[in-house]
């Protein structure tokens, strides 16, 4: 008889996330009520945003309660159903959790999708999921790109960053990426088509700023920021008039008790520039439009998305931590079954 394993959050993380903050519960499969269906989860999306949901602070989603399953975007197949709307065998995706099985309901947020249209079913968690939607709305809405302008992307070899750089090129922008190490920098140019790459390793704010200045002598019109602190401070030193900084993430400080944020905010004043938070869910009604466009670009070979798949619910913690040490090679996905 099948069992349901669930990854639970059992302690509020203090600074660096520890393996002991999680445990795995093993339980019988849940019983279904009328209108419900049971999903066998096959893949889960591992995203930096999940780190924020583990803290007990007000946010766009409630904190994950202690003792509850870790919230995550998942895809899977309906294996039992008490609603005609979600027949057995149907692929579905939704914001569920790190668990073998999830229960969905008619009228809930779990969506059906046509897996046969996708090159790989996991694309639904990468380019057609939060990563693609965040890159799409974060770049188009918060950066307001204009052809010929210069875009700086930090965390550029990451899932969102690499897509944003490619979107920049599709919109006629000059694109500079910041990443850690020579291999990632080469990948930015060779695989994702960036115009220039900067290795942040071993550079303080002044050296980073000088490297940006060398790549963009007239400054940058747009910044897509995933990292924060030193890297954001260096970007702020290179803004052009009316620059737009899309603040998508601050991964440098998610596992730290010390927050730095940005120290060079004066630059926003003298360049009449702005920082705006990126939150894809603000554009929920436009998700179908975005998915259609992203899928078209993918099919036409205009976008490259890399996926890094680790296996096994028991490996959720080390796989998640790869997002913070930068050892992932693309969108981080956990294969559950």
- 66 or 265: whose CB is closer to a copy of itself? 265
**Inter-residue contact 212 to 238 (CB < 8 Å):** yes
Write the DSSP symbol of residue 55: S
CA angle 144, 149, 152 (to 5 degrees): 80
Contact positions with a copy of itself (CB under 8 A) in 150-179:
none
- 185 or 236: whose CB is closer to a copy of itself? 236
Specify the length of the chain in residues. Answer: 337
Q: Distance between CA atoms of 168 and 70, rounded to whole angstroms?
A: 33
Is 217 an interacting residue with respect to a copy of itself (CB under 8 A)? no
Work out which of 262, 298, 321, 336 binds a copy of itself, going by CB under 8 A.
262
Is 282 an interacting residue with respect to a copy of itself (CB under 8 A)? yes
Stretch that binds a copy of itself, among 35-43, 118-126, 240-248, 297-305 (CB under 8 A): 240-248
Is 39 an interacting residue with respect to a copy of itself (CB under 8 A)? no
Q: Distance between CA atoms of 155 and 252, rounded to whole angstroms?
A: 10
For residue 189, the minimal CB distance to a copy of itself (Å) is 28
For residue 266, the minimal CB distance to a copy of itself (Å) is 6
- 244 or 331: whose CB is closer to a copy of itself? 244
Is 272 an interacting residue with respect to a copy of itself (CB under 8 A)? yes
Stretch that binds a copy of itself, among 145-153, 159-167, 266-274, 297-305 (CB under 8 A): 266-274
Please provide the distance, in angstroms rounded to a whole number, between the alpha carbons at the two ends of the chain.
16
Count of CB atoms situated within 10 Å of the CB of 59: 12
**Inter-residue contact 165 to 153 (CB < 8 Å):** yes
* 7-to-16, 27, 90, 103, 279 alpha-carbon distances in Å: 18, 11, 24, 15, 26
- 79 or 275: whose CB is closer to a copy of itself? 275
Q: Which residues bind a copy of itself (CB under 8 A)?
A: 52, 58-60, 228, 232, 241-242, 247-250, 253, 259-279, 282
């Amino acid at each position: 008889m099948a069992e349901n394993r669930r990854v639970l959050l059992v302690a509020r993380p203090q600074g660096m996330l520890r393996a002991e903050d999680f445990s795995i519960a093993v339980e019988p499969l849940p019983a279904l009520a009328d209108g419900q269906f049971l999903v066998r989860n096959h893949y889960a999306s591992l995203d930096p945003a999940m780190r924020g949901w583990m803290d007990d602070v007000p946010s766009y989603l409630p904190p994950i309660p202690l003792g509850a399953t870790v919230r995550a975007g998942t895809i899977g197949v309906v294996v039992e159903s008490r609603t005609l709307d979600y027949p057995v065998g149907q692929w579905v995706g939704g914001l569920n959790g790190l668990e073998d099985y999830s229960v969905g309901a008619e009228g809930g947020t779990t969506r059906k999708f046509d897996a046969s249209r996708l090159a790989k079913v996991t694309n639904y968690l990468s380019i057609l999921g939060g990563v693609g939607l965040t890159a799409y709305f974060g770049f188009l809405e918060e950066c307001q790109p204009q052809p010929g302008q210069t875009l700086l992307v930090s965390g550029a070899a990451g899932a969102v960053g690499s897509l944003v750089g490619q979107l920049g090129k599709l919109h006629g922008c000059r694109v500079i990426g910041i990443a850690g190490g020579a291999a990632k920098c080469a990948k930015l140019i060779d695989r994702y088509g960036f115009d220039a790459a900067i290795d942040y390793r071993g550079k303080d704010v002044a050296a980073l700023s000088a490297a940006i200045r060398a790549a963009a002598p007239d400054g940058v019109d747009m910044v897509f920021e995933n990292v924060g602190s030193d890297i954001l401070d260096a970007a702020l030193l290179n803004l052009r008039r009316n620059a737009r900084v899309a603040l998508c993430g601050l991964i440098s400080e998610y596992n730290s008790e010390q927050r730095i944020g940005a120290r060079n905010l004066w630059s926003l004043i003298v360049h009449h520039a702005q920082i705006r938070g990126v939150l894809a869910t603000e554009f929920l009604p436009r998700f179908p439009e975005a998915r259609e466009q992203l899928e078209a670009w993918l099919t036409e070979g205009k976008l490259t998305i890399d996926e890094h798949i680790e296996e096994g619910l028991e490996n959720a913690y080390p796989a998640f931590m790869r997002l913070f040490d930068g050892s992932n090679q693309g969108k981080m996905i956990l294969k559950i079954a």
